[in-house]
Chain A
Amino acid sequence: MKSFYRILSSFIVLVAFNTANAESIKWLHLFGEDSSQYPNMVRAVEEFEAKTGHTVVLQYLENESFKAKLPTMLQSNDRPDIFYSWGGGVMYDQARAGFLRDVSSVVPDSYLDTVSAAAADAFTFEGQRVGLPLQVSQVAWWYNKDLMSQAGIDVSQIKMWDDLLDAVKQIKAAGITPICMGGKDKWPVHFVWTHLHIRNGGKGLFLESLNNGGWDRPEYIRSGEQMLELVELEPFQKGWLAATWPDQAGFFGDGKCAMAFMGNWMYGAQASNSASGEGLADANMGMFNMPMTSGGIGDSGDTLGGINGWLFSSTASDAAVELMMHYVSLDIQKEDASNGAYIPIVKGADGSLTNPFLQQVAKNISNSEYHQIFYDQFLGADIGRVVNDVSTDLAAGIISAEEATQAVQEAWEFNQ
């Protein structure tokens, strides 16, 4: 009987100890339950809870609400421990204001060795590790093979910007809408203008402008002029200014236009947003990189895209960091890669990519010497949205190339 009481009391002490140490971790994300990466987020939570006894609360917010509510949430007592991030300017603002935790001491080098160095670096601020990366992405021209061949286009011949303009003319002449665009959301439009910046100015001019201004330099004005050359051809579908990004993906998936300039997430989105829900078959879809511009000083292999991941708020516990290291791990990333959820950053996981398009993107990024994070994220919320605005105004043909660059420069000066 004595031993029974001894066992019982030890059990009670153990339970009490575990309960006292069990934490509740709040993980704020943007992935709906139908998202291809959601199942493995749940899996990571379940495994982590079983292993540690901690409780993880998954909190979902839609993209725009997330961006609008996060500043307030971070300043409240109800702040999430872990939240999604596109890195860049917004992350720097959060770190400067002291809302992020330096987790350098919690993340061992042995873990960092397992992830891509460039991706890991994207989540540091002044030498402090404030987050962990999850995935990379790239923006490219997606095309409908049937429609392109109907218009007599040989995609392999599109090497320069002028070749693309010729292709647009040819597609239009064949009675096909050349490009699907989601102008209401604006950010899809900014991909075109800013990728031209990358071709015309390269990494050097970007860094120079970032540090010392000069967003109105001739190389960037040239990007606007090139964009206007495209706009003059009226390449977008009717009503494109009222079309959202899902509309853009759906139109492309329905075969209503020959091309779309979009990130690799277009692969899944064109199917889920199409009228049939199936979209274009893999065999009918292709992808090519932004062509080079004549006189451009960038490299034709430079890429535009994202390095997205997770940040730790100022009060995040070590357990929150451990949860992320469990989630961003080889096993889960391999499974997500094989499901085509995203392009993983854990070394060796990209071998599980079975989707040929994602394989191509992973190859492009690894060959790229300069992978520029989306301008509208990297430059922070204010300048980023100005870039989106002027890109759309350029595409609508209501401002000049000079006015577009001046607006960005003014926004940069306003923020100094």
Chain B
Amino acid sequence: MRSLKSQALLSRYSTLIIFLIPALTVFTLFVVLPIGEAAYYSFFRWNGYGDPEKYVGFKNYAYLFKNRVFIMSLKNNFYIIAVSLLVQLPFALLIALMISDKIKGATFFRTIFFLPYILAEIVTGLIWAYIYDGNYGLVATVWEFFGAEAPFIIADKDWALVAILIVVFWKFFGIHMMIYIAGLQAISKEVLEAAKVDGAGPITTAFRIKIPMLIPTIKLSVFLSLLGSLQLFDIIMPLTGGGPSNVTHSMVTYLYYFGVMRMKIGFGSAVGVVIFLICVFIAIGYQRTLMRDDNENKF
């Protein structure tokens, strides 16, 4: 009897191990090892040539947290998160509530709103750089139509970040809208019909039934938005390249310009480690607090 039990356990664990090995190998090779290497390099002054030899301890980190541009890029990431969570997601939810039902033209609007997400981020940046151009862009045409002199938005230190935030909003609200629509369509029709029978109008249904039932989906959408905002890179590169005067860097563009392009690989690794730790902290914190109930429900 005992041996039968242990045999069953062994076969269960061996299946588990067999299935885990490929995933663990990929994770170790492409996540754990690079992060470990970056952490090691971050203690050296190294230009990427040869082996790192000049050990500098925590100097790269000390320099990083004194650096005006890095502090600014941290703030910029915070603004991007704030706009994503406070403007983009509520707007996506509103649109999702409006077009999730099978009404006339819903599919058309879903497609239109989702289209920006299909574009590659680098292409999005290039298109918007042209739109914002004060000489030839759409902005210039509109301003000239009203007889005014067009502004150069992405050349203006006060407006360049706003210009990026508009593009981020335009590009990503479609995907969140689709996530919400999928969540809304999963709500049982019986519940909605019961609400209707009880005399609930569309607003009451939205606030009392749809949104509360959508909470797990919203939590997931917030989580994706948070991590996406921290990793923003491809849109900024063609649009402003972190300029003017380095006021629109995100942490990742900062890493690229101040680490890779300057061949300060040790310093760049320190930036990478900081970004990684911030992402891990947010991800674990979020999972442990806001998404804890969802996880418990699942397992």
Residues of A within 8 A of B (CB): 64, 67-68, 71-72, 74-75, 90, 93-94, 96-99, 183-184, 186, 238-243, 380-382, 385-386, 389, 392-393, 396, 398, 414-415
Known: A381-B262, A381-B263, A396-B157. A241 touches B245 (CB 8 A): yes
Interface string of B250-274 (1 = CB under 8 A from A): 0000000100111111000000000
Cα distance A75–B155 in the bound complex, in angstroms: 38
**CB pair B157 A75 closer than 8 Å:** no
**CB pair A71 B49 closer than 8 Å:** yes
**CB pair B264 A75 closer than 8 Å:** no
Residues of A within 8 A of B240 (CB): 184, 242
Asked if B40 is at the interface (CB within 8 A of a chain A CB), the reply is: no
Asked if B154 is at the interface (CB within 8 A of a chain A CB), the reply is: yes
Asked if B201 is at the interface (CB within 8 A of a chain A CB), the reply is: no
Cα distance A98–B129 in the bound complex, in angstroms: 41
**CB pair B263 A93 closer than 8 Å:** yes
Known: A94-B49, A392-B245. A242 touches B154 (CB 8 A): yes
Closest to A399 in B: B245
**CB pair A93 B245 closer than 8 Å:** no
**CB pair A184 B49 closer than 8 Å:** no
**CB pair B245 A97 closer than 8 Å:** no
Closest to B257 in A: A385
Residues of B within 8 A of A398 (CB): 157, 245
Residues of B within 8 A of A415 (CB): 45
Enumerate 15 A-B pairs (CB-CB under 8 Å) in ascending A order: A71-B263, A72-B48, A74-B49, A96-B49, A96-B50, A239-B135, A240-B155, A241-B155, A241-B157, A241-B243, A242-B243, A243-B155, A381-B264, A382-B262, A393-B246
In B132-146, which residues have CB < 8 Å from any A CB? 132-135
**CB pair A71 B154 closer than 8 Å:** no
Asked if B63 is at the interface (CB within 8 A of a chain A CB), the reply is: yes
Residues of A within 8 A of B246 (CB): 389, 393
Closest to A247 in B: B135
Cα distance A71–B264 in the bound complex, in angstroms: 11
Residues of B within 8 A of A382 (CB): 47, 262-264
Cα distance A380–B132 in the bound complex, in angstroms: 34
In B14-59, which residues have CB < 8 Å from any A CB? 45, 47-50
Cα distance A240–B129 in the bound complex, in angstroms: 14
Residues of B within 8 A of A (CB): 45, 47-50, 63, 129, 132-135, 152, 154-157, 240-241, 243-246, 257, 260-265
Residues of B within 8 A of A392 (CB): 243-245
Cα distance A307–B42 in the bound complex, in angstroms: 34
Q: Which of A64, A385, A386 has the largest count of B CB atoms less than 10 A from its CB?
A: A385
A67, A75, A239, A414: which contacts B49 (Cβ < 8 A)?
A: A75
**CB pair A183 B243 closer than 8 Å:** yes
Contacts A75-B48, A93-B47, A96-B49 known; 18 new A-B pairs at CB < 8 A: A68-B260, A71-B263, A71-B265, A93-B263, A94-B49, A97-B49, A99-B49, A183-B155, A239-B135, A239-B152, A241-B155, A241-B245, A243-B155, A381-B261, A382-B47, A385-B261, A392-B243, A398-B157
Minimal beta-carbon separation of A146 from chain B (angstroms): 21
Residues of A within 8 A of B49 (CB): 71, 74-75, 93-94, 96-97, 99
Cα distance A386–B263 in the bound complex, in angstroms: 12
**CB pair A242 B262 closer than 8 Å:** no
Known: A93-B49, A184-B243, A239-B155. A414 touches B262 (CB 8 A): no
Residues of B within 8 A of A97 (CB): 47, 49-50
Residues of B within 8 A of A238 (CB): 134, 152, 155
Minimal beta-carbon separation of A340 from chain B (angstroms): 29
Cα distance A392–B241 in the bound complex, in angstroms: 14
Residues of A within 8 A of B155 (CB): 183, 238-243
Cα distance A140–B45 in the bound complex, in angstroms: 37
Residues of A within 8 A of B154 (CB): 242
Residues of A within 8 A of B133 (CB): 239, 242
Residues of B within 8 A of A74 (CB): 49
Residues of B within 8 A of A381 (CB): 47, 261-264
Cα distance A185–B243 in the bound complex, in angstroms: 9
Closest to B246 in A: A389
Minimal beta-carbon separation of A49 from chain B (angstroms): 31
Residues of A within 8 A of B45 (CB): 414-415
Cα distance A415–B262 in the bound complex, in angstroms: 11
Closest to B47 in A: A93
Minimal beta-carbon separation of B38 from chain A (angstroms): 15
Residues of B within 8 A of A393 (CB): 245-246
**CB pair A239 B47 closer than 8 Å:** no
B134, B241, B257, B262: which contacts A239 (Cβ < 8 A)?
A: B134
Cα distance A414–B45 in the bound complex, in angstroms: 9
Cα distance A393–B240 in the bound complex, in angstroms: 15
Cα distance A97–B245 in the bound complex, in angstroms: 33
Closest to A239 in B: B152
**CB pair B48 A71 closer than 8 Å:** yes
**CB pair A184 B245 closer than 8 Å:** no
Cα distance A67–B50 in the bound complex, in angstroms: 17
Residues of A within 8 A of B243 (CB): 183-184, 186, 241-242, 392
Cα distance A392–B155 in the bound complex, in angstroms: 12
Closest to A416 in B: B45
Residues of A within 8 A of B261 (CB): 64, 67-68, 381, 385
Minimal beta-carbon separation of B169 from chain A (angstroms): 20
Residues of B within 8 A of A386 (CB): 262
Minimal beta-carbon separation of A414 from chain B (angstroms): 7
Which 8 A-B pairs rank lowest in CB-CB distance, beginning with the nearest?
A: A239-B152, A97-B49, A242-B155, A241-B244, A97-B50, A241-B155, A71-B48, A381-B263
Residues of A within 8 A of B264 (CB): 381-382
Closest to B244 in A: A241
Closest to A69 in B: B260
Cα distance A96–B50 in the bound complex, in angstroms: 9
Closest to B140 in A: A239
